[in-house]
Amino acid sequence: MMLAFLIGETLTGIRRNLSMFVSVILVTFVSLSFVGAAGLLQMQINQMKGFWYDRVQVAVFLCSDSYASSTCVSGAITDSQRDDIRTMLDSPEVKSYVESYEYESKDQALQHFQEQFQNSPIVDTVTADQLPESFRLKLVDPEKYEVVDELFSSMPGVELVVDQRELLEQIFSVINMASLAALAVAVVMIVCAVLLVATTIRMSAFSRRRETGIMRLVGASKTVIQLPFLLEGVIAAAIGGLLASGVLWAVVKFVVEGQLAVEYPDTAFVGVRELLLVAPFLVILGIALAAVSSMLTLRRYLKV
């Protein structure tokens, strides 16, 4: 009996304020979509860091006639200098920092360049003589890059030591900015959603002040009177959270897993599994915000 009464009162409130009810759903949906996107972006950053940092390399570029840097004043690297670098790489001192290494000749560098820039118009303008030889090092601990840099940057025949992680950090910083921007928009939209829930509850309470007055007279409890209003906001927020989860699922399933993961197989992307961790949080967050907003509004505008 009580359950039927609560459902009936809640549906009556929704019907009387249908436009506001739909507005709460839409604003909650948009705000929680941005919250979910920010969360997924942060998970993507962490996943990419774990994936790429295991594969990051340090490139030791060797002196060439094509370059006139201060470290290559004697010209191109000699065979003896190249052998000295190999000896250093095989030494026990370096083995504790370098897990493995491989030598890349000018011809191999050109081949890799052509593969990387195969769709670029500059690919046919670069020759092997314009590219430097290098040793590609895989570190035991990528955080120890500075030690390796100190060991090799001062060796004769070495032009430059480059940590590829620096390039990755630039990419991650851009994604971090996108994540923060999404979170900032989400905060603004959540504030709008909370205010809209409060306005909806207030309007509903005002339009049904006669019914609530009669319920007071017949001895209805505070909980019975306030619960239908509370349920209005909670139901709208829950629907908004479910819609946000559904849209994010479609984006992850068809855009991330269906396209990006296929086009870039060497990159680790977030998937449906990560979304399933975020989706319940979005629904719970929406319900919690709506419940708190509704209770504060009812305490002020619905005196029982």
pLDDT value of position 38: 85
pLDDT value of position 247: 95
Please answer whether residues 215 and 304 qualify as being in contact, where contact means their C-beta atoms are separated by less than 8 angstroms.
Answer: no
pLDDT value of position 209: 63
* CA-based radius of gyration for the chain: 31
**98 has which bridge partners?**
139
Query: How many angstroms separate the CA atoms of 7 and 227, rounded?
Result: 10
pLDDT value of position 224: 64
pLDDT value of position 123: 66
Query: How many angstroms separate the CA atoms of 298 and 304, rounded?
Result: 9
**Residue ranges, the chain, pLDDT below 70:** 1-3, 5-6, 9, 13, 49-56, 66-71, 116-123, 167-168, 204-225, 265-267, 298, 300-304
Total Cβ atoms within 10 A of residue 177: 11
The residue with tokens 């479609």 is 250
pLDDT value of position 223: 63
pLDDT value of position 67: 60
pLDDT value of position 68: 56
Domains and CATH numbers, the chain: 2-52+169-301 (no CATH), 55-164 (3.30.70.3040)
pLDDT value of position 121: 61
